[in-house]
Structures are given as structure tokens and as C-alpha cells.
Chains A and B, each alone.
Chain A
């Protein structure tokens, strides 16, 4: 808020910009429908505290809590009931930890900030929409999170310079095309931004309507389509 202070004081933006933050994906508040959303996210699977797990957790509930079926029953060498976790299946949602305190996830290097953009609540002009992930992970650099601040400023400045009056961030991105959003905001489009969860196909573009940006030329070059 220190970094964006001038925007709070002036009325220079094309429309309101709601910046919201949630420290985990339980997302208290309507973070998932904000113009810019900052979300705390884990990137390492839970550590299994087998010493106490069978005493403090209901193992069937823990297994059922996992949306990707990454958790299965197991036994320790000394015969204690516990669980094992398939790391490659974990989507780091933390739902198992909600059910069981013996599966902590937090980690200094693993935990990160995910940046989402383009959501809104209001029905004004266009229907409400979800925020979309535009930066998969930025470091948790206490206390001032310089990488996060810089990225948010880049998005807001590109939006302020280019959007039409009354146009929200998401409406702007849809009008110019998300490829132009990444270009104008100077944000790299990485493989982590390709949806790989359920219904992922719905987010893929099945049309030849697109705009050429440097990211498109990179693909053409990589496949040998151009010099």
C-alpha cells in the first residue's frame, strides 16, 4: 500500500482497482475476484509427522481430504499407522493439513506469492469474473516483498496507460487479448501458467484469432518456422 499510495490519493485510474491479499488459498474475502490478487501458496508437499499422526488424526478422513488422491495409508518401521504422500500428485492446497496437524506444509523457500489479475465482482458492463494467475511464484521476501510490489506496479501502470475509461483490469486484458497483457505488463508467460488442473482444456485457445507478440515469434523460431 506504501508503493501504491499515490493511486489511493488521486483519481487517475480508468476504473476502480481492487488489490486484495490472502495468506493462504482459503482466501478469506473475495480475493479470487479482485483486479489484482496476491495469494500465499505452498510449493512443497506436507512433511509427515509419523510419530504422532495416528494419535492426532483420523487417517481415513485425511486420505479422503486429498483432492488428487496423493495420500495413502502406510506404516512406520516400528509399526505405527501413518500415511505416505505421492509428491508428484500434490497440488499444495493444504486441505490435508486442515484435517490433520501432523502434516505441516510451510517452508521458507517453498512458500511463495502467486499473483492473479483481472477479476471483478460487479455486474457492471461485463459479468463478474475470476482473477487469473499471471505470475506463478514470487519469493516471500519479508518485510517489504520488493518483487511483488514491482510486479503489481508494472501491471497497474500498464493498465493505467492503456485502458479505456470505465474499463476494469480484466475487461482491458480481454479487449487487448491476454497475449498483449503479458507484453504490455512485461511479464513472462511460463509453463506454470498453462492450466494443468481439471477442465484445463476450457482455458486453451481453439481459434486462429490471436495477436503476434515476441512470445509468439519465440515459438515460431523454436519450431523452425522462421529464422
Chain B
């Protein structure tokens, strides 16, 4: 049963709201149809055509909404959205962005969470002279109630542009565009009234992120939300006070399907797994074979792929060939299984992950900057994963004793592993090597032997050598 780490007050929109219903619904569809942005934006108008919902259409609604609000109901300029649209059009014309290079702004006591953004055409677009981004730490798996969302939106309308991203790539709620003077009031309101924290930015722990986990997914082997919540709270200092060589990301996937892509984009990737046997419901297997259940939950329903063929579609595609049908029953040689999830994904009503679940931990993923992209290296095959996750925190802290000490400025963990070697990581973690850590053994013999590896060490006497070998 989930227990919050601190007392949680219930947010009620009716008490916290800034705008009345009339103010929220202050324009008609007719007015929207006739709306003209103050800048000429032909290329953006073009993007409204076509079936996919356009950000331009949303931005225009917001621009009209702000035009009709009273001036004293907004703390930054009313035409911020229109200036943003105008600048985007100009960027299209010029083929170059008109946002300046970064800029350091922040809130008192925090080293991250706000990203400075300035227009490089402030005379032409004064209302986006400042256009800072505020990152709000999303709740685990991004579940909200509408009281919360409406309250955040009202706050952002009042003190920002009213425009948001749901969500940024790291998972945060992204509030787009405000002026420096508004940052402290926003920060106060978020933390003191909404009990809501900022996310990470800069050289610190970034906002941890997890998949939807046990809340909604039958594949989840671990409670990703509990782990994400606990580590987010436990490592508050690391989230808000940049003390690292560069960014550090935790991401939590509930199973090897990897829906939050932890293996591709987190320095420390947690992936749920199991160490016992796949659970089989033989009746449901028969039902899949008989066509009663659609394979892969109907994901192929749009085309006729023919009758479901378990031999071809499941057993034949198994990467380890560890399955077979025997007398109408499905058999799995679990010792050979690498838990790729294909059979489970294809027949979720018949097959489920085992019950002895835990987490595999991998280290070192990053995007291409600088030496090319890296995926995380399988390092810890299995670890129990139960609240309060003390065993996992010990691993985190070993890494954080090594990397901040040895890492160069702007060197990600994966680059440090590359520079000092995987063996060094194993020393740091105090674990032995295992063949699972490599795709294949090395093919070069250039081993960096150390003196202590070799009998007798490296100290030798040339005279002794010459006593046996003439020059």
C-alpha cells in the first residue's frame, strides 16, 4: 500500500483557482475563426491544415484567450503567444533560430529547474524578450487529477505565457515562457501552496522518470512508481544542487519492453525482470491457438495476416528457441529464456512474467554528444527491489562516490566507464565480472596487465637477465 513520504494536502481547484468560468471561456468559436495574429504567419497558418492537431491552432486559441482577458489578470504581456508565433515564422523565413544562447536564471536555493531563454529580436518581439522555461517535477507515471492540472494551468496563465508541453523528454511538465521577475512567485506558489517541486536541469540529478508500472500494466515486474517516488524524495539535494560533472539520469522500466527507454537514455537504467519461470495458463494458450483471443492484444487487426500460428509467430521467433508444443501443451525451458518478452507480449492472457521479480541495473547510456551514443551496459543481473530500496541506494552511492570524483567537466558516467574501463566500474561496485556483461569476449590480447597481476611483479634486474643472455 502506497504511503506518501510527507503529509499530502488535497488540492481543490475551487479554492485555488485564479480565473472564473467566464474568464476561462471568454471567446466564441466564431471569434476564433476570425482571429488574426498581430504578425503575419503564413507558414504557421499552413500547418493548421491537415488532419493532425496542430500546435498552431492551440497557440491561436491561447492568443485569443489572452487578448480577451483583462490586462490586470496577467502578470506578463498579453501578446506573448502572438510574439512567439511571429518569431517562429521569422525563424522559418531565415532558416535560423531566434532564441539566444542559453542564459543563467534560477530561483533562490536551487541550481536547476529553470532554463533561461531570450529572444534575439527583443525590439521586434518585446513580449518574448524573456521566455524562460520552468520544469515541474511530474508525479510518477504522470497521473494527475483535473484539480491539479487546472490549478497549474491557472498559475501559468497568470504568471507565464499559458503555454505548456506535456511533457518534456525527461518527463517534466514544461511551462513555456515567462519573465525573470515571475520566477520567485511561481516557485513560491508551486512549492508552498501546491506542494509541487521543480524538476532538474544542469549538472545534477535529472527528474527521475518511470513507465506506467503496476498501476496499469500487467507486464510490470517491479513497482516502478514506488521506486521513482522514493529515489526522487531521497535524492532531493542531488536534484536541486548541481554538484556533478554533468547530468545524471535515473529511469525505471517495469519490464524488458522498456517503455521509458531507460537503456538508451539514462546513466543508471533500472529494468524490471524475474528469475523464476514464466507463468503459463494452458487453457488460454489453447484459446489463442483456436483464435478465441487476438494475438498481441489485436495490434495487427488492421490487416489480414492469416490465422494465428503459434509455431511460426511465437515458438519460431523466440530468440533462444526455448519453447515447444508437446501434446497440446506449451513448454518453456526457462533456464534458456532471456526474458525478451515476445511470447508474453503476443499471448498476454496465457503467459505472465514469473513471481520472483526484481530489477536488472545497467549503466552508462547517453545521447550522441559527444563521442557517439551509448546504451547502458548490463552490470547487475538481478536485485530485489522492495521499499525502502536500501540495497539500491547503496549502489547509487557507490557510483556517486566515484563519478563526481573522477569524472571530467561534462563527462557522463558512460564516458567515464569508457575512459577508465568496465573493470574499474566493477571495482567501484565491488562485484566480480561475469560473461553477461559483454556481447562477446575481446578479440585483441592487449590486456593492461598490472604488476600485481603477474607472479614476481615488474621489478627485474638487467644484470640478472644478462647473466643468462649475452648482449
Name A residues whose Cβ lies closer than 8 Å to a Cβ of B. Answer: 1-2, 5, 8, 10-16, 25-33, 61, 64-65, 67, 93, 95, 97, 101, 104, 106-109, 111, 121-126, 128, 130, 140, 142-144, 165-166, 197-199
Contacts and interface: CB of A to CB of B under 8 A. Distances in A.
B169 A124 contact: no
B340 A124 contact: yes
A155 to B, nearest CB: 18
- Majority SS at the chain A contact face: loop
Interface string B354-397: 00000000000001111111010000000000000000000000
B46 A144 contact: yes
- Majority SS at the chain B contact face: loop
Contacts of A61: 409
A123 B344 CA distance: 12
8 tightest CB-CB pairs across the interface, nearest first?
A108-B95, A2-B50, A101-B101, A11-B302, A28-B169, A30-B261, A142-B92, A143-B43
B52 interface: yes
Nearest to B312: A165
Contacts of B258: 121-123, 128
Interface stretch (B70-78, B224-232, B293-301, B398-406): B293-301
Interface in B270-301: 296, 298-301
Contacts of B300: 11, 14, 165
A199 B374 CA distance: 13
A166 B95 contact: no
Given A104-B101, A122-B257, A130-B373, A27 B319 contact: no
Contacts of B303: 11-12
Given A5-B52, A11-B301, A166 B369 contact: no
21 contacts: A5-B50, A8-B52, A11-B301, A27-B368, A27-B369, A29-B261, A93-B369, A106-B96, A122-B341, A123-B257, A123-B258, A123-B339, A124-B342, A125-B342, A142-B43, A142-B92, A142-B95, A143-B92, A165-B300, A165-B305, A166-B342
B52 A121 contact: no
A140 B370 CA distance: 24
B263 interface: yes
B370 A125 contact: no
Given A25-B368, A128-B263, 17 more contacts: A11-B301, A27-B369, A29-B261, A30-B264, A32-B368, A33-B264, A64-B409, A67-B370, A95-B370, A108-B95, A111-B96, A121-B259, A122-B257, A123-B256, A123-B263, A123-B340, A130-B373
Interface in B25-58: 43-44, 46-47, 49-52
Contacts of A111: 95-96
B313 interface: yes
Interface string B253-267: 000111101011100
B196 interface: no
B455 interface: no
Contacts of B133: none
Nearest to A197: B372
B398 to A, nearest CB: 25
B370 A93 contact: yes
Given A95-B369, A143-B43, A12 B302 contact: yes
Nearest to B97: A106
Interface of B: 43-44, 46-47, 49-52, 92-97, 100-102, 168-170, 256-259, 261, 263-265, 296, 298-303, 305, 313, 317, 319, 338-342, 345-346, 367-373, 375, 409-410
Contacts of A166: 296, 313, 317, 342, 346
A53 to B, nearest CB: 12
Contacts of B101: 97, 101, 104
Nearest to B91: A142
B47 A26 contact: no
B377 to A, nearest CB: 12
Contacts of B256: 122-124
A198 B93 CA distance: 36
Contact of A1 (B52, B97, B298): B52
Contacts of A198: 371-372
Contacts of A107: 95-96
A91 to B, nearest CB: 10
Contacts of B410: 65
Contacts of A8: 52
A140 B50 CA distance: 20
Contacts of B299: 11, 15-16
Nearest to B304: A12
Nearest to A199: B372
B191 to A, nearest CB: 26
Contacts of A12: 302-303
A11 B102 contact: no
A143 B85 CA distance: 13
A108 B96 contact: yes
Contacts of B373: 27, 32-33, 130
Contacts of B46: 143-144
A14 to B, nearest CB: 8
B44 A143 contact: yes
A141 to B, nearest CB: 9
A134 to B, nearest CB: 16
Nearest to A10: B302
Nearest to A28: B169
Query: In the complex, which of the residues A13, A25, A128 has the most CB atoms of chain B within 10 Å of its own CB atom?
Result: A128
B341 A25 contact: no
A65 B305 CA distance: 52
B345 A124 contact: yes
A192 to B, nearest CB: 16
A11 B295 CA distance: 13
B52 A124 contact: no
A97 B100 CA distance: 11
